[in-house]
Structure 1
């Protein structure tokens, strides 16, 4: 929370190891932590997005970095998720489930992340956008040769609906490959031209896509949530009926951190306000013409990346606003209003221009930036209207009226 206090109507405050035969252990669940952070960037004030801070591994950082950055993809390579054939794989089998197949959760799924203190809930969307392995095989990688398709091209180029990324490495007995998976894709599979006696996946690599909420509508702090994917025949990650995984659940634990910026800067001397008529006091002094109003417009600089509210506190309240008073106790109302920079709207979505600040906070309970506001000028308008001015001038000549007002910018909406 940032507070600026105004004295005399304004006071400043203000992400190829050698493989061995896989031993399938009891399932306990593979866990992957996904982290993302939002901090406003003064150099890119129009970019209001989370940055994925999860360490990457595999093909995105190592082989297809530009493609992944352009398409918002991230890859993770893990040795925790493995699989092994439960028996031989027949040559030229017709049912994809009887060999090497992949069906992954390529559709977007929703999960809720919840603020650790307020309980505020937001929606994150995630999908699996690619799949790959290092697989070891017996008798040799040459079993994948088919008429018109060399064994190495079988893995460099993906079968539909999957899409290859020209990533491939191999020896006589193992292959590393990776394929992209379009949204809502079905099964991708490869059929050997010769029988396979043994096959196992020493590691699994997957790409995922994220859709995160608008951070400008979120409170500062941490939001957490989890998404579980089932693994195994008929599961979310389905490798067929022959390739049996070592685990049956992949859990994504999400932590989204929001670090907002709210700052108000009062220029030197801007904490003391002198109210005067338009053009000064000459009209009154020379011709006795009463001023229509006394006023002062004070500019302050504002930084804001999230919702905030404003409120008013007065040293000497009068009705729903502040006042100024002379030594004899005579009191007149002091009206205070605010104009905020373009890019900030009120609770109804309207621009903020000369919006009154009141002691009960009505009308100023919510302001919403549509982008990061980076040191943009705002204006506080101080005014004594005609009736109050007339009363003041009817008092003894030379009277001094003074008062205090505190304007509060508060991020705790």
Structure 2
């Protein structure tokens, strides 16, 4: 009996408010790279999700523990915004001020396995937005008489009581902001459908945003159902008035689009362990040969159950190869003296967590010869060194033939059981 061990790759759903920094900027387009990976963890087999492998940048590089608690990941974007005119005091049109309307709804995109061209659906949305705004003068000078000495209080007064650390709903608090007389930082959660719109209470001659940063939430396919390899895909957002990232009509971007390149590495495990001596299977009747030898009671069948341990995190298939093929898809064993051959059936029972492709448990599932007859199985979760059973049997209808006078002997043959990760 022969086993095949394989290593694979794969992916899952998680709140990922993303990952790392800018990579390139062309004349009118900015881009950033996002990477994540999945690898089965024997210490935590029920955790089937991707891990961010892109370094933090922006807010979460300063407050990593805080961001981990919210399951968000900040990423700097190589874009600035500059006002093309003044922001008037108490303007009635929100588009004439500091408006933040990111693409917070879910957007589907395909990621493609670079080796197999297999496609998987990834969903993305903007989960947070932030940066730093600069004023043309000290905030107290812009407000004039009655301005508070406290920088946070003065900035809040400048924006009609809008607190940039604790923004009004629907935008959410993330904490840890910095405030100086001429600038302040902000980083907000943006639930689906949200806009963050502070209104100036005083005329601001010019305004600039830098350290622009976003966070992503991702929904990925079940990594256990994906083939191993690297999956790549990209999505381009328009930036500017009326586009995906809409900052109103006053604040215009340095680039008119942002492309996010996704690279998702999926690694799987398929490992089968046969106990010592398990490659030599002796078929015997229930209770041994004593009943036949002492009383002449004919055995009903010959069989042997051979246990094995399996670790699997992705789809795999099983099939047989026979030293002596049967008439159809089973193997045979043969007596070398009489040359008589009889059918040998092989079936498999798999542990909890491994099912057929319709989700049914696998109990005594017949294995056949040939690629076209291979049985396919899939994990519901990562199975680590769980016990399965190979069932070897000479069926009852063959026993009558074997035990006729002159047809006994020592029947033997080689059967190869293949666990194949290439599905």
TM-score after normalising by structure 1: 0.89
Structure 2 match to 1:202: 210
Tell me whether 102-111 or 148-157 shows the greater mean CA deviation: 148-157
Q: How many residues align?
A: 392
CA distance in 2, matches of 1:307, 1:280: 38
Gaps of 5+ in 2: 6-18, 20-24, 157-162
1:118 maps to 2:116 = yes
CA distance in 2, matches of 1:75, 1:129: 10
- Residue of structure 2 aligned with 1:221, choices 229, 235, 241: 229
Shift of 1:13: 6.2
**Aligned 8 A contact 2:346 2:391 in 1:** yes
CA distance in 2, matches of 1:308, 1:105: 39
CA distance in 1, matches of 2:332, 2:377: 26
CA distance in 2, matches of 1:235, 1:58: 24
**Aligned 8 A contact 1:127 1:210 in 2:** yes
Structure 2 match to 1:335: 345
Structure 1 match to 2:173: 164
Shift of 1:286: 1.1
Superposed CA RMSD: 2.3
**Aligned 8 A contact 2:326 2:343 in 1:** yes
Structure 2 match to 1:350: 360
Structure 2 match to 1:238: 246
Residue 268 of structure 2 aligns to a residue in which SS? coil
Structure 2 match to 1:127: 125
Deviations 1:36-86 (A, max 9, x none): 1111111111111111222222223423634x43443211123x1111111
Residue 389 of structure 2 aligns to a residue in which SS? strand
Deviations 1:279-300 (A, max 9, x none): 1111111112211111110001
Tell me whether 394-403 or 267-276 shows the greater mean CA deviation: 394-403
**Aligned 8 A contact 2:224 2:315 in 1:** yes
Structure 2 match to 1:106: 104
Shift of 1:393: 2.6
**Aligned 8 A contact 1:27 1:246 in 2:** no
**Aligned 8 A contact 2:4 2:418 in 1:** no
**Aligned 8 A contact 1:144 1:192 in 2:** no
Deviations 1:88-136 (A, max 9, x none): 2222222111121111001111111111122221111111122111121
CA distance in 2, matches of 1:87, 1:43: 58
CA spacing shift, 1:338–1:276, aligned 2, 3 Å? same
Structure 2 match to 1:49: 49
CA distance in 2, matches of 1:395, 1:151: 106
Deviations 1:213-249 (A, max 9, x none): 1001100111111111110111111111111110011
Residue 375 of structure 2 aligns to a residue in which SS? coil
TM-score after normalising by structure 2: 0.87
**Aligned 8 A contact 2:4 2:420 in 1:** no
CA distance in 2, matches of 1:246, 1:239: 12
**Aligned 8 A contact 1:141 1:175 in 2:** no
- Residue of structure 1 aligned with 2:286, choices 278, 288, 305: 278
CA spacing shift, 1:56–1:287, aligned 2, 3 Å? same
- Residue of structure 2 aligned with 1:393, choices 387, 403, 408: 403
CA spacing shift, 1:351–1:133, aligned 2, 3 Å? same
Deviations 1:354-386 (A, max 9, x none): 111112467753211101010011100001123
Structure 1 match to 2:307: 299
Tell me whether 265-274 or 133-142 shows the greater mean CA deviation: 133-142
CA distance in 2, matches of 1:163, 1:398: 81
**Aligned 8 A contact 1:144 1:191 in 2:** no
CA distance in 1, matches of 2:325, 2:395: 16
Residue 69 of structure 1 aligns to a residue in which SS? helix
CA distance in 2, matches of 1:147, 1:246: 33
Shift of 1:198: 2.1
